[in-house]
Amino acid sequence: MTLQLPLDLSLSQGRYFKNYFAGKNDPLVQQLTQAIAQGSEQFVYLCGNPGVGKTHLLLAACHYMGQLARPVSFICLQQHKEYGPAILEDMQAVDLLCIDNVHAVAGDDRWERALFNLYNVLRDSGVPLIVSAKFVPNASAFNLQDLVSRFNWGLTIKLQELADEDKIKAMQLRADDKGIELSVEVAQYMFKRCPRDMHALFELLDRLDYQSLASQRKLTVPFVKSVIEGDAAV
């Protein structure tokens, strides 16, 4: 997916810095926000396990720049088979480029060479770039070592998984952002009956939000139980 400005801010899908629950990652997120606001780092490499919020932060960066009416582009390489490496060309016109899931093209020579060339072009044109990946650059599966060296340019931020109690707080923050009340009791019930990664927890919260609106019911333990058991029966 590519987003070009003037950016419809709704395209950031509600992902802002203010509704990202950082927990123990707060100092790292502060580094990222300062780098974007002050332009102090041209290249930022954001890494961590699935569910730590890398995509959220990239979209939050796009939203921040969008509010300033600055042109941005967002590309998710998880869907790289839907388009070719040519999508990385002509990015000098944007004020921020965000590339999500660069690890998805590791081992593909064409994509690796295109990313290497992109770094060189952006360095010369001064365009800031934020990429996200599962692993730190030196632990990645990329064959092109010159590309790995480019990943090591600038600021590397490794996000840690939230502690269990912080995951519940993150769920409550997401629920509050949706305008629904999520008690600690209900959040703990969800937490015990759902995989503990944030993707799964947020997906369950989205389903509960939809079902509660459809049935005009609050999020209670019996209601959540009925939704979860209904999903299991499908």
C-alpha to C-alpha distances, 15 to 150, 178, 185, 186, nearest whole angstrom: 28, 12, 26, 24
List, for residues 21-80, the tens digit of each pLDDT value: 999 999 999 999 999 999 999 999 999 999 999 999 999 999 999 889 899 999 999 989
CA distance 130 to 94: 13
Q: Which two tokens stand for residue 162?
A: 């939230």
Model pTM above 0.85: yes
Question: pLDDT digits over 95-143, tens only?
Answer: 999 999 999 999 999 999 999 999 999 999 999 999 999 999 999 999 9
First-residue to last-residue Cα distance in the chain: 31
The per-residue pLDDT for 174 is 92
pLDDT bin (cut points 50, 70, 90) of residue 13 is low
CA distance 15 to 55: 9
Enter the DSSP assignment of 43.
E
**How far is CA 169 from each of CA 99, 111, 163, 178, 197, rounded to the nearest angstrom?**
28, 38, 10, 14, 14
Smallest CA-to-CA distance from 178 within 147, 219, 139 is with 219
pLDDT of residue 7: 40
Indicate where the chain has its CATH 1.10.8.60 domain(s): 164-233
Which fold would CATH assign to domain 9-158?
Answer: Rossmann fold (3.40.50)
- Which numeric CATH code is attached to 164-233? 1.10.8.60
Locate CATH 3.40.50.300 in the chain. 9-158
| Closest-CA residue to 99 (of 111, 109, 33, 107) | 111
**93, exposed or middle or buried, with CB in 10 Å at 0-12, 13-18, 19+?**
exposed
Mean pLDDT calculated for residue range 186-204 = 89
Mean pLDDT, the chain, integer: 90
Predicted pLDDT of residue 4: 43
